[in-house]
């Protein structure tokens, strides 16, 4: 018998989600990490229309009761705890963050945050090359010296005395034969073809535009240039959750719980107090079981 209610408060709960018209998610660069250790694009997953549903609250309760959370969208190898899931449905919630009028609709305020880049190929598209990157790319003293000496022969001065970016312009101004000979000498170095792309590849009688990314998109030799962070808009929500609890539940909490859990991204949920059932008025709250489970379509529909 549920004699009491547990008043939980949550704060700084972040929601990374943008949906556009027609209940379709907007494109994002976020990733989702799968059970098998791989990752897939967030754009391929749907999301709930409501910011917090019974799934988020039940996962919060699992952690509060020292159980394992169960992923809703990515699937899980074990089953959810039905008792706690039902308890989540019988709980009450209110989000205290006020909504504001945005065009025709109402929306929660967003704020901008800095995000970290975790994916191995977060290569920097804006590249400025220098001699140190070239040295790291070639990764062999003899080969580097040969490369510099070949350039020296072309230009009749020490090429390292000018910035590498400037050298790319100078190479493009060389006579065709000399330029092709330079490319041949680079090819002879073996494993340094990126430098040819860097100066503009020769193909079918034409020189292509310089492609600097060949030097910095390479993950070996420490020459890779990656982005450390990006920016994203997030909702930051706070509010209250009221959970019906029996004496047995309180005993479990007392013995096994840590007294806190997380909700959404990094939202801190803590036990505020225990309220006897007769003192609880649910007027300002929504019953969690009544919260819609409608979903937005993925930003990108997977090809089948």
Partner 1 sequence: MIKNVLIKMELEGNGIVNRDSSGQKYIIDAFDIKNLKGHKSNNNVLYAKKNFYKDEDGNVSYKIKISRDALMHDIFKNDIISQNPNVVHHDASLYSYIASPISILRGYLFANKTETIKRDGVITLCDAEQTDGALSSIEVCSRSGQKEEDKDVVDNSLFFKETVGDIKYLTTGNLDLTKLQFITCDNVFGRYSFNPDKFGLFKEFLTKNLPNFSSELDYYQLTGSAIDIPEYGVLLSNENVIFLVKEALKRMLGLNIKRKDAYARVSSLKIKFVENPLEDIFNNEYGWIELRNEQDVDSLDFEPQSFYNKVDLEEAKKLRKAIEDKKKEVDKVKIDDKKKKEEQKKNRSNKTESNDE
How far, in whole angstroms, is CA 5 from its chain's centroid?
36
Which member of 22, 104, 118, 248 binds partner 1 (CB under 8 A)?
A: 118
Does 119 help bind partner 1 (rule: CB under 8 A)? yes
How far, in whole angstroms, is CA 12 from its chain's centroid?
18
- C-alpha distances in angstroms, 281 versus 54, 171, 242, 277, 284? 20, 78, 10, 9, 8
Residue 28 burial (10 A CB sphere; 0-12, 13-18, 19+): middle
One symbol per residue from 6 to 35: x for binding partner 1 (CB under 8 A), - otherwise; what is it?
-----xx------------------x-x-x
Shortest gap between Cβ of 121 and partner 1 (angstroms)? 8
Does 268 help bind partner 1 (rule: CB under 8 A)? yes
DSSP 133: H
Residue 59 and residue 70 in contact, taking contact as beta carbons nearer than 8 Å = yes
Shortest gap between Cβ of 207 and partner 1 (angstroms)? 31
Which member of 27, 29, 68, 187 binds partner 1 (CB under 8 A)?
A: 68
The pair of three-digit structure tokens given for residue 297, joined into one six-digit string: 């379509």
Does 275 help bind partner 1 (rule: CB under 8 A)? no
Residues 207 to 266 in contact with partner 1, rule: CB under 8 A: 219-220, 222, 224, 226, 228-229, 233, 236, 238, 250, 252-260, 262, 266
First CA to last CA distance, the chain = 49
Q: State the Cα–Cα distance between residues 255 and 221, nearest whole angstrom.
A: 53
Residue 256 and residue 62 in contact, taking contact as beta carbons nearer than 8 Å = no
Does 98 help bind partner 1 (rule: CB under 8 A)? yes
Interacting residues toward partner 1 by CB under 8 A: 11-12, 31, 33, 35-39, 66-68, 71, 74-78, 81, 96-98, 100-102, 109-114, 116-122, 219-220, 222, 224, 226, 228-229, 233, 236, 238, 250, 252-260, 262, 266, 268, 270-274, 303-304
């Amino acid at each position: 018998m549920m004699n009491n209610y547990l008043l939980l408060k949550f704060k700084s709960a972040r929601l990374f989600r943008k949906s556009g018209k027609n209940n379709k998610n907007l494109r994002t660069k976020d990733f989702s990490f799968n059970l098998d250790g791989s990752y897939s694009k967030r754009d391929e997953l749907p999301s709930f229309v409501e910011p917090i549903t019974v799934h988020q609250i039940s996962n919060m309760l699992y952690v509060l009761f020292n159980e394992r959370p169960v992923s809703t969208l990515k699937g899980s190898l074990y089953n959810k705890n039905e008792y706690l899931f039902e308890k989540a449905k019988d709980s009450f919630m209110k989000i205290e963050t006020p909504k504001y009028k945005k065009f025709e609709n109402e929306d929660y305020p967003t704020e901008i945050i800095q995000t970290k880049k975790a994916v191995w190929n977060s290569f920097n598209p804006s590249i400025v090359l220098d001699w140190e990157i070239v040295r790291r790319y070639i990764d062999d003293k003899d080969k580097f010296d040969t490369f510099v000496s070949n350039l020296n022969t072309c230009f009749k001065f020490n090429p390292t005395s000018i910035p590498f970016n400037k050298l790319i312009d100078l190479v493009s101004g060389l006579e065709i034969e000399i330029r092709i000979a330079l490319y041949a000498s680079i090819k002879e170095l073996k494993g340094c073809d990126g430098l040819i792309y860097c100066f503009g590849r020769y193909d079918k009688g034409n020189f292509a535009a310089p492609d600097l990314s060949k030097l910095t998109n390479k993950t070996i030799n420490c020459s890779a240039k990656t982005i450390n962070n990006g920016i994203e808009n997030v909702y930051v929500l706070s509010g209250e959750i009221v959970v019906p609890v029996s004496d047995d539940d309180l005993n479990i909490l007392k013995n096994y719980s840590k007294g806190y859990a997380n909700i959404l991204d990094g939202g801190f949920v803590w036990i505020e107090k225990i309220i006897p059932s007769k003192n609880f008025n649910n007027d300002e709250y929504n019953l969690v079981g009544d919260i819609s489970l409608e979903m937005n379509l993925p930003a990108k529909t997977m090809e089948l």
